[in-house]
Amino acid sequence: MKLLELQGLTKAYPGVIANSDVSFDIDKGQIHAVLGENGAGKSTLVKTIYGLVRPDKGQMLLEGAPFAPTDPRSARAAGVAMVFQHFSLFDAMSVAENIALGMENPPKTQDLATQIQAASENYGLPLSPDRIVGDLSAGERQRVEIIRCLLQNPKLLIMDEPTSVLTPQEVDILFGTLRLLASEGTSILYISHKLQEIRALCEHATVLRQGKVVGTFDPREMSNRDMAEMMVGKTLTTPKRAAVTTGQPLLQVSGLSAPSPHQFGTSLKEISFTLHAGEVLGIGGVAGNGQDELVAALSGEIRTSDDMILLEDQGIGADGPNARRALGLCAAPEERNGHAAAPDMSLVENALMTAKTRLSLLKKGFIDWPRSRAFAQEVIARFDVRTPSPETAARALSGGNLQKFVIGREIIQNPRVLVINQPTWGVDAAAAAAIRQALLDLASAGSAVLVISQDLEEVLEITDRFAALNEGTLSQAVPTAGLTMEKIGLMLGGAHDLEVAHA
């Protein structure tokens, strides 16, 4: 039986048609995937269903009756819930308060806490209702969003890229949850570009390209490559690299311990690893296990004793970010807006922000704007950053484009060591492939790359060695070749986290 029918939905914005005659149906209890690159119109489509956008043409039927939500509240009242890719949470409030804010008639805080605890245990998403959201990692914040929706008992649950920050075991549990919900009659609209996961979960998939439906099929009968190419509309190349020639050690970290600057952060405990020239080392881990702290300790935002971090045998643990850049260590943190880039500043200013040292964009403290602009333009051109101009504010760029800019900015500086956290989070398939290729090229050219990622497919694809970060400690690094998802999952100690939630 059909739950939701989309009939000829069309939505145009000045200069771009976001959706053009989009039609497909979602049955009751069906898990339906929507695939597409950034800008393909997925967001507009789900926002139409969620009442954030009103279509220019076309209509929707929910359980046979016309459905034209004027705002998210009426969509929620009709039984549509959504987990957004970008979190809409208030940092200063607790988990329970944030969840209460999204509810029409929130119960008493105590009851709500009990409900959250229950949902968290049923669905294997460890979450304490009393914690302050500002102290949570990206992965934990997403759990808040998911649980907020689950508490509404929706008929249709829209999930926009929900698994980017979960371990394989957690993904399995989440999929179990989604299948359970589907078997209870809840329909799920699942938006993702992780093809593996769509194949594992969904029976139906609709592919959008440039606002149009280009295909509806059963993902279990399609290869990843076919699906990806249908999505992009052209033949994809998997990242390739020249033969690995591991050189001398560039970055040696030994016994790195540092308290987290945040109250609920994870302190780093005795972390040791060596990064060689020409090597890509992957560090995996569930969100909130010390990734941010490790990046900060390597970038210079957290200072340690000098000998804990050696760059080409020179102690840099006590140096600040610019001193490290001068010596050849560049970094790109996970959060693009507000950390790796300043949202209200132009791309030129953002380019200057980290490139000033290595590219000598300062003369006696005075900024060389023409060269900064030229550098920003180089990043934009070489990394295919879609932006009206280099003077555009960073916040006006889409996540994928800003990420290409942030990573391009560091790579073009030609660092000896590049530390990068979540290089392709929220980035579409084509852009992700371009970013991964650029990282491999940098390593092939003789630099060392440290990739910290929660996307394990990515880790398997581009790294030479792999180590797991768990509660601030780092495992021994092992060669990536021959590793399976299951082995990685065990290294991450993923299961242990979940047992706590069930206890």
Residues that bind another protein (CB under 8 A): 13, 18, 43-44, 47, 52-54, 70-71, 299-301, 320-323, 325, 331, 333, 335, 338-345, 349, 352-354, 356-357, 362, 365-367, 369, 392-393, 395-396
C-alpha to C-alpha distance for 175 and 83, rounded to whole angstroms: 15
Closest CB to another protein among residues 216, 357: 357
Closest CB to another protein among residues 389, 476: 389
Closest CB to another protein among residues 247, 261: 261
Closest CB to another protein among residues 299, 470: 299
C-alpha to C-alpha distance for 259 and 302, rounded to whole angstroms: 9
Sequence-ordered list of residues with C-beta below 8 angstroms from that of 16, at least 6 positions apart, any chain: none
Sequence-ordered list of residues with C-beta below 8 angstroms from that of 213, at least 6 positions apart, any chain: 21, 22, 23, 24, 206, 207
Q: How far is the CB of 322 from another protein (least distance, A)?
A: 4
Closest CB to another protein among residues 128, 210: 210
Q: How far is the CB of 227 from another protein (least distance, A)?
A: 25
Q: How far is the CB of 13 from another protein (least distance, A)?
A: 6
Sheet bearing 57-62, strands edge to edge: 16-27, 2-13, 57-62, 65-66
Q: How far is the CB of 242 from another protein (least distance, A)?
A: 31
Q: How far is the CB of 232 from another protein (least distance, A)?
A: 21
Closest CB to another protein among residues 177, 392: 392
DSSP string covering 45-63, please? HHHHHTTSS--SEEEEEET
Closest CB to another protein among residues 345, 485: 345
Closest CB to another protein among residues 47, 465: 47
C-alpha to C-alpha distance for 47 and 54, rounded to whole angstroms: 8
Q: How far is the CB of 342 from another protein (least distance, A)?
A: 4
DSSP string covering 377-396, please? HHHHHHTT---S-TTSBGGG
Closest Cα partner for 151 from 111, 187, 99, 193? 99
C-beta of residue 302 within 8 angstroms of C-beta of residue 296: yes
C-alpha to C-alpha distance for 425 and 193, rounded to whole angstroms: 11
DSSP string covering 211-280, please? TEEEEEE-GGGS-HHHHHHHHHSS-------PPP---SEEEEEEEEEE--SSTTS--EEEEEEEEETT-E
Q: How far is the CB of 349 from another protein (least distance, A)?
A: 7
Q: How far is the CB of 276 from another protein (least distance, A)?
A: 26
